[in-house]
């Protein structure tokens, strides 16, 4: 394909995916309803619910602005050949292709982050603040930014260097080698997330002896789920939103509970939430999730290997010669419709797993306790009660609350 044709294809994909996303957001916003469903009436206060609707409207409006901004920015960069211009600007200073690529991406990442800081700021300190979620202080905000940069520089730098190195030295079969590397990396992150990455951002303390710990250990013993340790994380440092998860690849698992979750739920509800998570392990969702994400990486790299060496792709972005980093960027844009489709299947699979994990919690512990926990979580996070089915189909990794409640109470779900 000629460089101009490639540029047109890139532009068309950018415009279509932008319009499609906006359309979905719009449809979803239109499906809001002001009445509270009977199942959760007892948990919601009317004014709280109206507040949650307002929160969603405001988030949606804000996202219209931010996505229009990034869309116009990418369009301007593509039409003006800005990416090629940056490549030409940096090239004389770097003999090493890896170094050139790293600096190229670093400039893009930092520049786009600086341009969007006002939006991130507004979202945290104005919107989230207004609806009572925000607990982030200015200090946490700045520290998170710096740590985020550092983490991206180290992890992104290592992976990007390895990728560029393999593309240059091995040739078109680089995708096999990099797939192996990526698989090891994903496994590594899964294994050490709780012990290495999480402590960079949060404080983890072992759960103290008491009713909750006894109840969790009793349940773990009953379903034969070996526990390594139970941690409490200071999620309240940033937000009132709550969560819980497991980590560890080996036989014994670590549990991480948000302090915000413990604060707002009864012991039974907390055990029910953990029972749901145990369900994900017992039903092999975790292993399959890992396998599927590896397959996705392998497929992506294979497609990348078909276009990594095309000089015309670099020229399409305004470059003057073949540059692997320009091609990686173009690939990122061209691949987005394909990754949208694989993401769609991953979401379908994930939603199915959520029902299974809920059913497991009901079977082994208590469906009512889980229902109550889900309602409370939904109230506290002001989650959308009537998302449009089309929006759910494309974007939701978890089924909407009302569907999950219906499934838990035994009503058939298609
Ligand atoms: Zn789940």
C-alpha triplet 41, 46, 51: angle, nearest 5°: 120
Q: What is the dihedral of CA 351, 179, 198, 369, to 10 degrees?
A: 20
- Expressed in angstroms and rounded, the spacing between residue 114 Cα and the centre of ligand 1 is 35
Judged against a pLDDT cut of 60, whether residue 157 lies above it is answered with yes
Considering the chain, what percentage of its residues have pLDDT values greater than 70? Answer: 97
Enumerate residues with CB within 5 Å of ligand 1 (an ion): 354, 357
- Model pLDDT, residue 414: 44
- Expressed in angstroms and rounded, the spacing between residue 52 Cα and the centre of ligand 1 is 23
Q: Could you tell me the pLDDT band of residue 48, with boundaries at 50, 70 and 90?
A: confident
Mean pLDDT over 9-31 rounds to: 93
Helix (H) or strand (E) holding 229: strand 227-233
- Expressed in angstroms and rounded, the spacing between residue 280 Cα and the centre of ligand 1 is 7
Judged against a pLDDT cut of 90, whether residue 305 lies above it is answered with yes
C-alpha triplet 12, 31, 128: angle, nearest 5°: 85
- Model pLDDT, residue 273: 94
State the average pLDDT for the chain: 89
**Helix (H/G/I), strand (E/B), else coil: 127:** helix
**DSSP β-ladder status, 253-258 and 244-247:** antiparallel
- Expressed in angstroms and rounded, the spacing between residue 177 Cα and the centre of ligand 1 is 32
- Expressed in angstroms and rounded, the spacing between residue 355 Cα and the centre of ligand 1 is 8
- Expressed in angstroms and rounded, the spacing between residue 349 Cα and the centre of ligand 1 is 12
- Expressed in angstroms and rounded, the spacing between residue 260 Cα and the centre of ligand 1 is 18
Judged against a pLDDT cut of 70, whether residue 249 lies above it is answered with no
Which tops the pLDDT comparison, 19 or 240? 19
Q: Could you tell me the pLDDT band of residue 189, with boundaries at 50, 70 and 90?
A: confident
**DSSP β-ladder status, 227-233 and 253-258:** parallel
- Model pLDDT, residue 401: 93
Integer Cα distance of 4 and 10 in angstroms: 10
Judged against a pLDDT cut of 90, whether residue 196 lies above it is answered with no
> Which of 80-94, 184-198, 379-393 is predicted with the least confidence, judged by mean pLDDT?
184-198
The alpha-helical segments, DSSP class H, found in 81-173 are 82-90, 97-122, 129-130, 138-151, 157-169
Nearest to 379 by CA among 265, 244, 213, 220: 265
Integer Cα distance of 192 and 196 in angstroms: 5
Mean pLDDT over 351-358 rounds to: 96
The catalytic residues are: 277, 358
């Amino acid at each position: 394909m000629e460089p101009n044709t490639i540029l047109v294809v890139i532009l068309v994909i950018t415009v279509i995916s932008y319009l499609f996303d906006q359309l979905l957001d719009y449809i979803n916003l239109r499906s809001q309803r002001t009445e509270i469903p009977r199942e959760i009436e007892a948990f919601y206060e009317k004014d709280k619910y109206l507040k949650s609707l307002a929160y969603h409207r405001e988030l949606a409006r804000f996202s219209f602005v931010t996505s229009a901004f990034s869309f116009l920015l990418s369009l301007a960069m593509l039409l003006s050949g800005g990416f090629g211009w940056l490549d030409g600007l940096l090239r004389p200073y770097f003999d090493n292709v890896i170094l050139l690529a790293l600096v190229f991406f670093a400039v893009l990442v930092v520049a786009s982050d600086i341009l969007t800081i006002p939006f991130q700021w507004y979202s945290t300190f104005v919107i989230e603040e207004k609806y009572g979620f925000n607990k982030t202080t200015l200090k946490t905000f700045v520290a998170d930014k710096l740590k985020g940069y550092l983490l991206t520089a180290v992890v992104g730098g290592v992976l990007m260097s390895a990728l560029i190195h393999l593309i240059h030295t091995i040739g078109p079969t680089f995708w096999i080698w990099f797939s192996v590397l990526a698989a090891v990396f994903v496994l590594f992150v899964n294994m050490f997330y709780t012990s290495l990455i999480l402590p960079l951002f949060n404080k983890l303390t072992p759960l103290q002896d008491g009713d909750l710990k006894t109840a969790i250990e009793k349940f773990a013993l009953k379903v034969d789920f070996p526990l390594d340790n139970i941690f409490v994380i200071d999620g309240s440092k940033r937000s009132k939103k709550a969560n819980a998860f497991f980590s560890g690849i080996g036989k014994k698992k670590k549990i991480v509970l948000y302090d915000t979750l413990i604060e707002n739920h009864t012991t039974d509800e907390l055990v029910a939430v953990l029972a749901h998570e145990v369900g994900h392990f017992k039903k092999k969702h975790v292993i399959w999730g890992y396998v599927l994400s590896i397959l996705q990486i392998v497929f992506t790299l294979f497609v990348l290997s078909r276009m990594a060496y095309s000089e015309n792709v670099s020229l399409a972005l305004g470059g003057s010669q073949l540059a692997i980093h320009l091609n990686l960027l173009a690939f990122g844009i061209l691949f987005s419709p394909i990754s949208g489709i694989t993401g769609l299947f991953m979401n379908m699979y994930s939603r199915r797993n959520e029902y299974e994990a809920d059913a497991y919690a009901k079977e082994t512990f208590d469906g009512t306790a889980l229902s109550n926990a889900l309602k409370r979580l939904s109230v506290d996070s002001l989650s959308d009660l009537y998302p449009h089915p089309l929006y759910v189909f494309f974007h939701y990794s978890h089924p909407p609350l009302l569907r999950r409640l219906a499934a838990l109470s035994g009503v058939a779900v298609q």
